[in-house]
Amino acid sequence: MPFALVLTVVLAGLAAFQAALAAGAPWGTLAWGGQHRVLPVRLRVASAVSILVYLLIDLIAWTRVGALRLFPPPVAEVAMWVIFGYFSLGILMNAVSRSPAERYTMVPVALVLAVSSFFIALGWGALAYAV
């Protein structure tokens, strides 16, 4: 479960960051390609929606490790592999950002998320499902 805890902590931080962006914080150079200091409305909405995506990812991860029973185990396992792919793609997308601030901040964050989700997908630290 340590990987799920790491994932939760990082996603909670990202959710707070995205909430601030959605509210108009001037940190846009760290997200969404880094082209705006304050995000335009469409990207503010995307930031708000990303919080819901982070919540879903977290629920899937905790289901995969056996702490929750929200999804059938095979669904949680496949979903975690998809999530691992999503975060791995995030490493690449952030690495090619035109914004140096986004590259240097979000690549390490995406790397931590990808590594954590990889080990969760493998089932490392998973509790046994009660039958």
In a domain, 127, yes or no: no
Cβ-based neighbours of 81, under 8 Å, separated by 6 or more: 121
- The mean pLDDT value for 70-83 works out to 97
Instruction: Using alpha carbons, select from 100, 94, 127, 128 the residue that is nearest to residue 4.
Output: 127
- pTM check: above 0.85: yes
- The mean pLDDT value for 60-86 works out to 96
In a domain, 128, yes or no: no
pLDDT class for 124, splitting at 50, 70, 90?
confident
pLDDT class for 131, splitting at 50, 70, 90?
very low
pLDDT tens digit string along 43-59?
Answer: 999 999 999 999 999 99
In a domain, 129, yes or no: no
Cβ-based neighbours of 46, under 8 Å, separated by 6 or more: 32
Total structural domains within the chain: 1
Mean pLDDT over each residue of the chain, to the nearest integer: 93
Domain that holds residue 6: 2-122
Question: What is the dihedral sign for C-alpha 16, 21, 23, 25?
Answer: positive
Amino acid 58: pLDDT: 98
